[in-house]
Amino acid sequence: MPQVTVIAVPQMLGTSVSLPMEMLHAADSYRHLSHTPHSPLQIQVAAMGPESILMAGGLRILPDTTIDQVQTSDLVLVPALWRNPVPVLRHCSPLVKWLARQHRGGAVLCAAGTGVCLLAESGLLDGRPATTHWYYFDRFSERYPRVHLQRDHFITEAEGLYCAGSVNSVADLMVHIIEQFYDRDIASRVEQQFSREIRKSYDQIYYSLSDARNHPDEAIIRVQQWLQDNHAREINSEQMAAQADMSLRTFNRRFRAATGLSPRQYLLRLRIEAAKELLRHSDLDINAIAAACGFNDDAYFARSFKRQERVTPSDFRRSVRSKLFSL
């Protein structure tokens, strides 16, 4: 696991960094249990000075180091700020410059809530998508007119700059980050431990310049949209290739090059995401959900669901209902 630097500033919301730190430690524990050779997780809390930092809830945090002592980072976590961030921003010029240097050096930057303003102050978000806490949308747009504010998305990503609109969406973002730095299996395990049952469909909350549809192959994009609209139907590879007006061999090659997945893998993920929504919000039985999402074989649906989500469809639904509807 690479070097992680957690930023501490006055009036920060502690949960916006303590939660991702706990999730990263959980991921590293799972990696250790797998007996896979890896370097240990290294997390340090850094501030502009050595003094303790008073957080929004009245607690204090003592930084491990100062930002001028941190030359390189692989991942930087920027906290959310309480209420109006401008008074804090006035005293953060050294931090703003440091964040810009870290990004130029290849670090991935993740900011939560109004902590996104620290990235915007540096100019890193100019011409790029971003989001922030909904209460600050209008003032954010006025202060940073060059930033492409995404009001309808809780998470954005552009060239290693991640923004989470609230502390609640930080958990969803961290599942994604853990998958990037570790692997999908470990990310799924961590998600199960940290409120997976109330996690929204990633497609609903995530805006990314590098997602599966953001590529220049317009023919493949058309097929992806067609699959989104028709995933419940019986679909074979020849039909997908026909939608792209390509030979099957050419289509398979270009689809994988554009999305990183085979056409069948992509379709399977669409179907399982659709099934998860029905498990959350409908009273259909498991067999009916399988059929509604394009699975003709109930056993295959159950195996595929468990392989991707690491729980059975029934257990997934039970977890959702017990958390969302119990007193």
Tell whether the model's pLDDT for residue 243 goes beyond 90: yes
Per-residue pLDDT at 198 = 40
Every domain of the chain and the residues it spans = 3-208, 218-318
Tell whether the model's pLDDT for residue 320 goes beyond 80: no
Tell whether the model's pLDDT for residue 202 goes beyond 50: no
- The most confident of the ranges 26-35, 52-61, 186-195 is 52-61
At the fourth CATH level, the homologous superfamily of domain 3-208 is: Class I glutamine amidotransferase (GATase) domain (3.40.50.880)
Q: With CA atoms as reference, report the closest residue to 220 among 266, 273, 159, 167.
A: 266
Q: What does pLDDT average to over the chain?
A: 87
Mean pLDDT within 93-114: 96
Tell whether the model's pLDDT for residue 260 goes beyond 70: yes
Beta bridge partners of 61: 53
Question: pLDDT tens digit string along 281-303?
Answer: 788 999 999 999 999 999 999 99
Question: pLDDT tens digit string along 19-28?
Answer: 999 999 999 9
Beta-carbon count within 10 A of 50 CB? 11
Per-residue pLDDT at 108 = 95
Give the separation between CA 319 and CA 325, rounded to whole angstroms.
10
Q: Helix 248-259 vs helix 263-281: angle between axes, to the nearest 10 degrees?
A: 60
Q: Which CATH class is domain 218-318?
A: mainly alpha
* Residue pointed to by tokens 């689809």: 255
Q: With CA atoms as reference, report the closest residue to 127 among 152, 144, 109, 110.
A: 144
116 vs 208 pLDDT, higher one: 116
Mean pLDDT within 125-130: 93
**Cα-only R_g, the chain:** 21
SS3 for the chain is CCEEEEECCCCECCHHHHHHHHHHHHHHHHHHHCCCCCCCCEEEEEECCCCCEECCCCCEECCCEEHHHCCCCCEEEECCECCCCHHHHCCCHHHHHHHHHHHHCCCEEEEEHHHHHHHHHCCCCECCEECCCHHHHHHHHHHCCCEEECCCCCEEEECCEEEECCHHHHHHHHHHHHHHHCCHHHHHHHHHHCCHHHCCCHHHHEEECCCCCCCCCHHHHHHHHHHHHHCCCCCCHHHHHHHHCCCHHHHHHHHHHHHCCCHHHHHHHHHHHHHHHHHHHCCCCHHHHHHHCCCCCHHHHHHHHHHHHCCCHHHHHHHHHHHHHCC
One-letter amino acid of 81: L
pTM for this structure? 0.63
One-letter amino acid of 235: I
Per-residue pLDDT at 12 = 96
pLDDT category of residue 201 using cuts at 50, 70 and 90: very low
Give the separation between CA 135 and CA 97, rounded to whole angstroms.
26
Question: pLDDT tens digit string along 59-68?
Answer: 999 999 999 9
Q: Which residues contact residue 218 at a Cβ distance below 8 angstroms, ignoring those fewer than 6 apart?
A: none
Mean pLDDT within 134-142: 92
Mean pLDDT within 16-36: 89
Per-residue pLDDT at 317 = 86
Task: Of 69-78, 140-149, 152-161, 212-221, give the lowest mean pLDDT range.
Answer: 212-221
